[in-house]
A and B are shown apart, each in its own frame.
Chain A
Amino acid sequence: MADDRNQGAVARRIRRARDPLGLKRALSDRLLPGLVAAMALLAALALAGSRGAEALKERWQQGAAAAVTVQLPPEQAGRMEDAMALLRARPEVAWAEPVNPERMHELLRPWLGEVPALPLPSVLELRLHNTALDPAPLQRALSDAIPGAEVEAHGIWVARLAALARSVQGVALAVLALVIGVAVAVVAVATRAGLASRRQAIEILHDLGATQSDIAGRFARRIGLLAAGGALAGAAIAVPALAALSGLAAPLAGGMVQPWSALPWLDLALLPPVAGLIGWATAQLSVRRWLRRLP
């Protein structure tokens, strides 16, 4: 019993001796890891947002190739030329071409098999100058001129969603850059506070012959460890949040609902080492800069 206490005291003494700058107290294990955990959570959300937007964008861009299709019913097949002329005359139309019947058969074969006798609608594809234009007036003009003509503008919505996904991705990456910048600032501030509170101890070590890299290394190891620990906690908190989000997003991306495999595991696993590295490098720079005042 007394022996246990004694061993505890010895262990504590050895830990203290390895920490002559008293950094365990000067760089508290509460504030910095807490802040880093919050930022790691934000980084995880931003990364997942960016990856998710990327997946949606790719999926949607495939579908956006034919922006708008127009169908004439079989009994109006003879009026293809009229429809083309009408469409090409409209200012919002950039390009319009009939889809030739062979390609139609190609496209439909998986569904209909070889049934050339089936009366197929005449189809033409067109593109608008840009996806922000409203396809409704075009639709009205066409069905007035050719009864039964239908405009399928699904492609426009898909293109708009793809553009939205692109900007979501851009915002997510900007948030990520911002989080990294704030992390660097937070670590620099924490380091400077630690330096200020351990100024005398640093000067003593310096006068006893400690090198710059020795002193900077002590700070950097401690801060790197605290940052990595904080990021680990932040990444752990992010897992259930991301699982819920990816469960919601999976159907939109056309994937099956497999929330666990859809998580950005690699990004999450990289968060602690990257945060540790950022903390380590920032502390190294801050301490070395501060030490320049000593001879």
Chain B
Amino acid sequence: MVRFTAVGLRYPSPDGGLGPEALSDLTFTLPEGSFTWLLGTSGAGKSSLLRLLYLAQLPTHGTLEVLGHQVRPDRRDALPALRRRIGVVFQDFRLLPYLSAFDNVALPLRLAGRSEGSLRPDVTEMLRWVGLQGKEMSLPEQLSGGEQQRIAIARAVVTRPALLVADEPTGNLDSHQARRLLALLTQMNRLGTTVVVATHSEDLVAQFPSPSLRLEAGRLVHHG
């Protein structure tokens, strides 16, 4: 469960102070097990909102509750454990360039302290699911944009997170693979994962109707 109360975000400006508000006065609640689209034009603040959700950024003001924990700057020790229960598909993938597809997907499991023996079946299964069997040993630079995106997706879901956050996860996929990915996300959602997906694609939203948040210039203009 996620709760935003009057949340604002300002990035640091180059001169050392704070820049303009990237997000202002956001108040909304996402119930546990919900599936939510995050919509808005480029620059509206979708990635910024998601960064707050996966705790890569702390709000400049307001209060933020993620997975039932209040996020407080004075309790940063609690954040890593919380982050490990959140799966993230980054807009720019953010794969580690010197790790193979297999090791990129295995990374969150290794960070969580899973043994080498027990993580192999999960990683292999996930790579098969995103259609990358046989590419386990490839480095990201040897893969196409769409294949890299699918590794990023596999890495996000391999831990079976309680909250799954995806930023434009279909940007580099063809329509068939985009539908396949959405099927994976809705399946995880049915198993109890709270899912938030930012997208530009109105087509996709029409195919998988769900509640949506719409941002305009950092403000919430629609919820429902």
Report which A residues bind B (CB closer than 8 A). 9, 13, 16-17, 20, 22, 25, 200-201, 203-212, 214, 295
Q: Is the CB of A295 within 8 A of B73?
A: yes
A213 to chain B, nearest CB (A): 9
B161 to chain A, nearest CB (A): 10
Q: Is the CB of A209 within 8 A of B81?
A: yes
A222 to chain B, nearest CB (A): 15
B191: CB under 8 A from chain A? no
Known A-B contacts A16-B99, A20-B99, A295-B58; A210 and B80 likewise in contact (beta carbons under 8 Å): yes
Most buried by B among A203, A211, A212: A211
Q: Is the CB of A208 within 8 A of B137?
A: no
Which residues from chain A contact B205 at a C-beta distance below 8 Å?
Answer: none
Which residues from chain B contact A25 at a C-beta distance below 8 Å?
Answer: 98
The prevalent SS among residues of A at the interface is: helix
A58 to B54, CA, bound (A): 67
Known A-B contacts A16-B98, A17-B110; A209 and B80 likewise in contact (beta carbons under 8 Å): yes
B176: CB under 8 A from chain A? no
Q: Is the CB of A208 within 8 A of B100?
A: no
Q: Is the CB of B99 within 8 A of A17?
A: yes
A203 to chain B, nearest CB (A): 8
Q: Is the CB of A295 within 8 A of B57?
A: yes
Report which B residues bind A (CB closer than 8 A). 54-58, 73, 76, 79-84, 86, 88, 90, 94, 96, 98-100, 102-103, 106-108, 110-112, 137, 155
Which residues from chain B contact A204 at a C-beta distance below 8 Å?
Answer: 94, 96
A210 to B55, CA, bound (A): 12
Q: Is the CB of B110 within 8 A of A295?
A: no
A210's contact among B57, B90, B94, B111, by CB below 8 Å, is which? B111
Q: Is the CB of B103 within 8 A of A295?
A: no
Known A-B contacts A295-B58, A295-B76; A208 and B103 likewise in contact (beta carbons under 8 Å): no
Nearest 7 CB-CB pairings of A with B: A209-B84, A209-B83, A17-B103, A211-B80, A295-B58, A207-B56, A22-B98
Known A-B contacts A208-B107, A208-B111; A13 and B79 likewise in contact (beta carbons under 8 Å): no
Which residues from chain B contact A203 at a C-beta distance below 8 Å?
Answer: 56, 94
Residue of B nearest to A18 (CB): B110
A9 to B83, CA, bound (A): 32
Q: Is the CB of A207 within 8 A of B83?
A: yes
Q: Is the CB of B96 within 8 A of A13?
A: no
Which residues from chain A contact B79 at a C-beta distance below 8 Å?
Answer: 295
B73 to chain A, nearest CB (A): 7
Which residues from chain B contact A16 at a C-beta distance below 8 Å?
Answer: 98-100, 103
Q: Is the CB of A214 within 8 A of B96?
A: no
Q: Is the CB of B56 within 8 A of A209?
A: no
Q: Is the CB of B100 within 8 A of A214?
A: no
Which residues from chain A contact B86 at a C-beta distance below 8 Å?
Answer: 209
Most buried by A among B54, B100, B107, B112: B107
Having A16-B100, A20-B103, A211-B80, one finds 15 other A-B pairs with CB under 8 Å, namely A16-B98, A17-B100, A25-B98, A203-B56, A203-B94, A205-B107, A208-B84, A208-B88, A208-B111, A209-B82, A209-B83, A209-B108, A214-B111, A295-B55, A295-B57
Q: Is the CB of B56 within 8 A of A22?
A: no
A196 to B90, CA, bound (A): 22
A284 to B155, CA, bound (A): 28
A13 to B54, CA, bound (A): 29
A215 to chain B, nearest CB (A): 10
A237 to B131, CA, bound (A): 56
Known A-B contacts A207-B88, A208-B84, A295-B57; A20 and B96 likewise in contact (beta carbons under 8 Å): yes
Which residues from chain A contact B108 at a C-beta distance below 8 Å?
Answer: 208-209
Which residues from chain B contact A210 at a C-beta distance below 8 Å?
Answer: 80, 111
A206 to B90, CA, bound (A): 13
Residue of A nearest to B73 (CB): A295
Q: Is the CB of A13 within 8 A of B100?
A: yes
Which residues from chain A contact B56 at a C-beta distance below 8 Å?
Answer: 203, 206-207, 295
